Amino acid sequence: MSILGALASAVVDEANAVAEAPNPIIPAMDEVIWGTLSFLILFAVMAKFAYPGLKKAMDARSEKIQGDLDAADSARSDAESLRGEYDAKLAEAQAEAARIIEAARSDAEQVRQDRIAAIEPEIAEKRAQAEADIEAAKDRALADLRAQVTSLAVGAAEQIVRSSLDEAAYARLVDDYIESVGN
């Protein structure tokens, strides 16, 4: 029995040792107290010294970001207003170009009408001159024709008269003619 008793005594000693061993999940109470005390001291030091500087840096960064956003909004609104002005000026320039083109067309048409009006009297004068020249040429041609016809008629009449008139009748006819031409 002594072996058995020694074994039982060893198991009981081992069980007592296991029962007294600390739990690895739950820390010992003195560690909890020191850990809590260290945390509170560190938290107080951080809250007193580090937090104001950190808050100031965060506020400055937030203000800078807000300023950048405001500047971007301002730049965007400026760009939109500039674009509106540009569009208005472009529309105005296009309208002005259309007015200038229309004025140029109107001026060109007026110049054309003025030139036509200025040339019309000259054309009418040249037409009248041409008609007068034609009429004069016609009159000359008729006069020449009459002269030739008269000359031919006189020549033919002379031939007829010479053959049919005697000397006395011929002399009397010439005298009558000279007398009628003289009056």
Confidence category of residue 88, pLDDT binned at 50, 70, 90: very high
Model pLDDT for residues 27-54, shown as the tens digit of each residue: 778 888 999 999 999 999 998 998 998 8
Instruction: Decide if pLDDT at 20 tops 70.
Output: no
pTM over 0.75: no
Q: What is the pLDDT of residue 141?
A: 87
Alpha carbon separation from 55 to 44, 61, 178 (Å, rounded): 15, 10, 148
| Distance in angstroms (rounded) separating the CA atoms of residues 108 and 115 | 10
pLDDT given for residue 18 in this prediction: 54
Question: In the predicted model, what is the mean pLDDT of the chain?
Answer: 83
The reported pLDDT for the residue numbered 65 is 95
Q: What is the pLDDT of residue 58?
A: 94
pLDDT at 109 (0 to 100): 94
Radius of gyration of the chain (CA): 70
